[in-house]
Structure 1
Amino acid sequence: MKAIKVTCAIIHFDDKILAVQRSTKMKLPLKWEFAGGKIEQGESEIECIKREIAEELNIKIEINERLTPVTYKYPDFKIKLIPFIAKHFSGELKLKEHSDFVIANKEELNNLDWAEADLPILKEFLAL
């Protein structure tokens, strides 16, 4: 099973962090995740995350750092999740695909029911 390459962003809004909740129509319904999406052919990781965030959330971000990618096998698919730490640059947040969002303190992020692939990324981020 080939891994689907997906980027995600840990987006800072000042001193708080954005998390988004998957809709009931998506795989892993109602799980929380860092926003992002699939890398398209010929697209760099940075181009992908900036495009996905603009498409899904209506905002522009500035990339600060790349964290350790995570490969995770769910029962029916496998992903390679490539995380970036970013900050909100411009635009008003509007959800296009997700059902909900929170802008939370780092400590509050542990209280969410995360998609399994995002957990190692959350752990690495919280340890920074």
Structure 2
Amino acid sequence: MKKQIEVVGAVLIRDGAVLSAQRSPHMSLAGFWEFPGGKVEAGETPQVALAREMREELLCTVTIGDHIDTIRHEYNFGVVTLTTFYATLVEGEPQLTEHSELRWIPVPDLLNVEWADADVPTVKRVMRDRTPRPSEEMHNS
């Protein structure tokens, strides 16, 4: 049986752009983009794990909002279950500690980078949920 890995990811949105993290060369899936977050430790809820990982990896404090999706994806190194949440930056500016790059990517441009497979369904959902429909734009003007 393949190794089971439970991870969490934060979808932080600021000024219509999503904080995206590129995995560094020493990480598995090197070079792919992902939502920042990390592994859920024993005894943690996904929300507690995500808040902790954001403090540890990005040196910032977030509040965890609505659940977006839970995706199970099988990689060659194991089966990853990724649970994503919207999150709001409360304190600090996200800092690069483990990833190669952090980038605020405008929602319509999210698919212009290569995402890790487990993150792709959330990317598509965020694009669907956060891109104004033409009818909405007309009503809001």
Identify unmatched segments of 5+ residues in structure 2: 130-141
Letter of the structure 1 residue corresponding to residue 83 of structure 2: I
Q: What is the TM-score when the length of structure 1 is the normalising length?
A: 0.95
Q: Is residue 86 of structure 1 aligned with residue 121 of structure 2?
A: no
Q: What secondary structure does 1:67 align onto?
A: strand
Letter of the structure 1 residue corresponding to residue 93 of structure 2: E
Taking the aligned partners of 1:89 and 1:110, their CA distance within structure 2 comes to 27
Q: What secondary structure does 1:69 align onto?
A: strand
CA contact (8 A) 2:3 2:77 kept: no
Structure 1 runs (4+) greater than 6 angstroms displaced:
none
Taking the aligned partners of 1:83 and 1:124, their CA distance within structure 2 comes to 11
Taking the aligned partners of 1:58 and 1:120, their CA distance within structure 2 comes to 27
Greater RCO between the two (CA within 8 Å, min separation 6)? 1
Alignment of 1:1-128 (within 5 A): 1-128=2-129
Letter of the structure 1 residue corresponding to residue 67 of structure 2: R
Give 1:16 shift: 1.9
Q: What secondary structure does 1:81 align onto?
A: strand
**Identical counterparts, % of pairs:** 34
CA contact (8 A) 1:3 1:71 kept: no
Aligned-pair RMSD on alpha carbons?
A: 1.1
Q: Which has a greater percent of helix?
A: 2
Q: What secondary structure does 2:24 align onto?
A: coil
| Equivalent in the alignment of 2:132 | none
Q: What is the TM-score when the length of structure 2 is the normalising length?
A: 0.86
Q: What secondary structure does 2:47 align onto?
A: helix
Identify unmatched segments of 5+ residues in structure 1: none
Taking the aligned partners of 1:119 and 1:74, their CA distance within structure 2 comes to 14
Taking the aligned partners of 1:14 and 1:58, their CA distance within structure 2 comes to 21
Taking the aligned partners of 1:58 and 1:119, their CA distance within structure 2 comes to 25
| Rg comparison, structure with higher value | 2
Taking the aligned partners of 2:92 and 2:28, their CA distance within structure 1 comes to 27
